């Protein structure tokens, strides 16, 4: 049977949870999943819950001791991991079922949240099931959609089947948008619910616009600066960033393209586009300045479950050009805060439509400013406080439901 949560009154929520969060990505790694998880953990601790994070040890990292007390403190359980091929700085966790099972037998959490479906995530699911601990999972990454970008599209059904089996053995799977939840349900994923994403509008704000940074980019006051932020990898559809920019450049010859991020595609992109500015990864205030100092944000990826960069750009006062999916579908309004390009399912037609939309925007750059104001106004309503409250509610929900028949255990 499941353990009972600690009933106290530590803050906004009367039920104080002991939550174990398992992930194979964590700051200072730079990606949307790591950022989202850090905000969830911070928010849950602020609400009085005890959260312990199990994750791979990062290079040079020294573990801090974790006690079994019920105080709401930062506590990480560092486990073995390996570098992820092709992604400098990212780690892949190794199977650790016995260690997690021993850890949770001694210091039993009320619930486990598994954020990644790698070897560590699978081990955590098996350990939790053996101990009868309820499990929530997050669908943070479209791993099933990545296969076609790496020349092994035939693997997509197999990868999807593995993901489906994994998530269907959890008590709830949290998806970032209603559209994705509907898609997953149609693919046979069970017990899928929506947990939105938030943005820090105090960090990402037009007030961080920097004339000095624009000068470094060779941009005068009236120069149109087009921005991309994200991993530089095949699944991000980066050729379309360049093609869309060239359409803008045809109408605005002095326009500048700034690319923020790193990854396996960077070298080839830099070689092919010597007039573009590649800044590498940016974090914190520097990242916020890069957003705010641009004028238009391009995001042509179709592989996202959400795309935090879209709402970060909006919070920074940028209109967004993106396909009508994930975060853009939820938050961008064409002609008001940017432009959404419908997806037809035909790659060549979709690419042509995206480039056409970029060219259309380039005809009226003066309108970008007003669209940026509207984007900022919308982003101000995406508060992390509400997102954390929903996450808390979902964790409490799987405790209250207390299924008599939980999903089948591994042998």
**Looking at residue 265, which CATH number applies to its domain?**
3.40.50.2000
- Domain membership flag for residue 406: no
Total length of the chain: 411
Q: Kindly list the distances between the CA atom of residue 155 and the CA atoms of 158, 159, 189, 220, 365, in Å, as whole numbers in the listed order.
A: 5, 6, 18, 48, 43
190 with 276, same domain: the answer is no
Do residues 231 and 342 share a domain? yes
Give me the number of domains the chain comprises. 2
The pLDDT, as a whole number, for residue 140 is 81
Q: Coil, strand, or helix at residue 171?
A: coil
Q: What is the pLDDT of residue 100?
A: 96
The verdict on residue 90 lying in a domain is yes
DSSP-derived pairing of the beta strands 50-56 and 135-138: unpaired
pLDDT for residue 4: 39
212 and 140: one domain?
no
| Domain-embedded: residue 409 | no
pLDDT score, position 142: 56
Q: What's the rounded Cα separation, in Å, for the pair 96 and 78?
A: 11
Same domain, 183 and 235: no
Could you tell me if 344 and 363 are in contact, meaning their C-beta atoms sit under 8 angstroms apart? Answer: no
Q: Are residues 396 and 343 in the same domain?
A: no
The two three-digit tokens of residue 234, written as one number: 């095949």
Which residue segment(s) compose the domain that 247 sits in?
Answer: 206-379
List of long-range contacts for 185-191, beta carbons under 8 Å, 24+ apart: 187/160, 188/164, 189/139, 189/164
Q: Same domain for 175 and 302?
A: no
Q: CA 64, 68, 73, 79 torsion: positive or negative?
A: positive
DSSP-derived 3-state class of residue 173: strand
Same-domain check for residues 355 and 268 = yes
Contact 53, 77 (CB under 8 A): yes
**Alpha carbon distances (Å) from 364 to 252, 264, 296:** 10, 35, 12
Please check whether residue 337 is in contact with residue 314, taking contact to mean a CB–CB distance below 8 angstroms.
Answer: yes
Does residue 374 sit in the same domain as residue 390? no
pLDDT value at position 31? 84
Q: Per-residue confidence of the chain (411 residues) as pLDDT tens digits? A: 333 333 333 345 557 899 999 998 898 887 888 889 999 999 999 999 999 999 988 777 766 655 544 444 457 888 887 776 655 556 677 888 999 999 999 999 999 999 988 899 999 999 999 999 999 999 887 554 444 544 555 466 788 899 999 999 999 999 988 888 999 999 999 999 999 899 999 999 999 999 999 999 999 999 999 999 999 998 899 999 999 999 999 999 999 999 999 999 999 999 999 999 999 999 999 999 999 999 999 999 988 888 999 999 999 999 999 999 989 999 999 999 999 999 987 889 999 999 999 999 999 999 999 999 999 999 999 989 989 999 999 999 887 775 444 444 443
For residue 308 the two structure tokens come to 């935090």
Q: Is residue 34 part of a domain?
A: yes
Least Cα distance to 121 among 54, 31, 197 occurs for 54
pLDDT at position 25, please? 87
**194 contact partners, CB below 8 Å, separation of at least 6:** 174, 175, 176, 177, 178, 181
Report yes or no: 387 and 195 within 8 Å, Cβ to Cβ. yes
Q: What does the DSSP assignment read for 273-295? A: -TTSEEEE---HHHHHHHHHT-S
Same domain for 146 and 257, yes or no, is no
The answer to the question of residue 407 being in a domain is no
Do residues 275 and 328 share a domain? yes
Compute how many other C-beta atoms are within 10 angstroms of the C-beta atom of residue 221: 7
Q: How far apart are CA 48 and CA 12, in angstroms?
A: 8
Burial class (CB in 10 A: 0-12, 13-18, 19+), 336: middle
Q: Is the same domain home to 73 and 88?
A: yes
Residue 1 resides in a domain:
no
With respect to residue 108, please indicate whether it lies within any of the assigned structural domains.
yes
204 CB neighbour count, 10 Å cutoff: 23
Whether the Cβ atoms of residue 84 and residue 56 lie closer than 8 Å to each other: no
Element (H, E) at 349: helix 347-362
13 lies in a domain? yes
Return the structure tokens found at 173: 């799977």
* Tokens matching residue 304: 């996202």
273 and 301 co-located in one domain: yes
Q: Give the whole-angstrom CA distance, residue 67 versus residue 277.
A: 47
Residue 317's alpha-carbon distances to 103, 170, 213, 288, in angstroms, are 46, 39, 16, 11
3-class SS of residue 327? helix
What number of CA atoms fall less than 13 Å from residue 298's CA on the CB side? 33
What's the pLDDT at 305? 81
CA 78 to CA 62: how far, in whole Å? 9
């Amino acid at each position: 049977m499941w353990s009972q949560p600690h009933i106290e009154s530590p803050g906004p929520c009367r039920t104080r949870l002991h939550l174990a969060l398992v992930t194979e990505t964590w700051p200072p790694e730079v990606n949307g999943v790591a950022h989202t998880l850090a905000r969830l953990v911070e928010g849950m601790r602020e609400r009085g819950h005890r959260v312990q994070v199990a994750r791979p040890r990062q290079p040079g990292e020294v573990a801090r001791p974790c006690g079994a007390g019920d105080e709401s403190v930062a506590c990480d359980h560092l486990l073995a991991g390996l570098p992820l091929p092709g992604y400098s700085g990212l780690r892949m966790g190794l199977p650790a079922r016995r260690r997690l099972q021993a850890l949770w037998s001694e210091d039993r959490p009320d619930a486990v949240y598994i954020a990644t479906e790698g070897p560590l995530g699978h081990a955590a699911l098996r350990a939790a099931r053996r101990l009868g601990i309820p499990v929530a999972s997050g669908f943070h990454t479209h791993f099933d959609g990545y296969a076609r970008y790496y020349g092994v599209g035939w693997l997509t059904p197999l990868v999807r089947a593995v993901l489906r089996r994994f998530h269907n053995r959890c008590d709830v799977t949290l998806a970032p948008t209603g559209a994705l939840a509907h898609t997953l349900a149609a693919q046979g994923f069970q017990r899928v619910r929506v947990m939105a994403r938030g943005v820090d509008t105090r960090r990402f704000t037009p007030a961080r616009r920097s004339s000095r940074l624009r000068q470094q980019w060779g941009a005068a006051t009236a120069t149109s600066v087009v921005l991309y932020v994200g991993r530089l990898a095949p699944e991000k559809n980066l050729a379309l960033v360049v093609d869309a920019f060239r359409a803008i450049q045809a109408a605005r010859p002095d326009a500048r393209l700034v690319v923020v991020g790193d990854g396996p595609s960077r070298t080839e992109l830099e070689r092919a586009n010597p007039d573009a500015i590649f800044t590498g990864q940016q974090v914190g205030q520097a990242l916020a300045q890069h957003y705010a100092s641009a004028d238009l944000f391009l995001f042509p990826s179709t592989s996202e479950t959400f795309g935090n960069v879209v709402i970060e750009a909006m919070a920074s006062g940028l209109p967004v050009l993106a396909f009508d999916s994930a975060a853009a579908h939820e938050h961008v309004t064409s002609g008001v805060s940017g432009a959404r390009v419908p997806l037809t399912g035909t790659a060549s037609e979709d690419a042509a439509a995206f480039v056409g939309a970029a060219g259309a925007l380039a005809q009226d750059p003066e309108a970008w400013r007003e669209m940026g104001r509207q984007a900022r106004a919308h982003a101000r309503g995406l508060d992390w406080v509400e997102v954390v409250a929903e996450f808390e509610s979902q964790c409490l929900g799987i405790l209250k439901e207390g299924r008599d028949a939980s999903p089948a255990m591994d042998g």
